[in-house]
A = this chain, B = another copy of it.
């Protein structure tokens, strides 16, 4: 995704495209690894030595509000972010910690027991072992 496209995209979602915001969003779209704040920080600080973590928290919170990213709470200890806002599930490997996207074919329509609720977010999380860690464990 080109810088100008990102700038345009952010403007479309009424986010003023400051340099830092552009870089954070760019990181999120180019790295679909569901990074934590610290991971984003460690990556970006190499290019932007003045970057502050508070800026990251502010920026990511803004992204959530404006709906250009979602928050993933599959990890008990830290928040993770995803620029893919389409409905999909996640799998976390308990050994390597990696988080995988899970394409869901059947959207859960459990509305039978949810009459009267207004649903704004849906999350599906799986936890276990990923293929690589499984293989490594069996050897």
Contact = CB atoms under 8 A, between A and B. Distances in A.
- The SS class assigned to the A binding surface is mixed
Copies in the complex: 2
A130 B120 CA distance: 11
A69 B91 CA distance: 21
Interface in A84-139: 89, 91, 94, 100, 102-106, 108, 110, 112-114, 116-131, 134
A89 B103 contact: no
A118 B129 contact: yes
Which range holds the interface residue count of chain A? 35 or more
Interface of A: 71, 73-76, 79, 89, 91, 94, 100, 102-106, 108, 110, 112-114, 116-131, 134
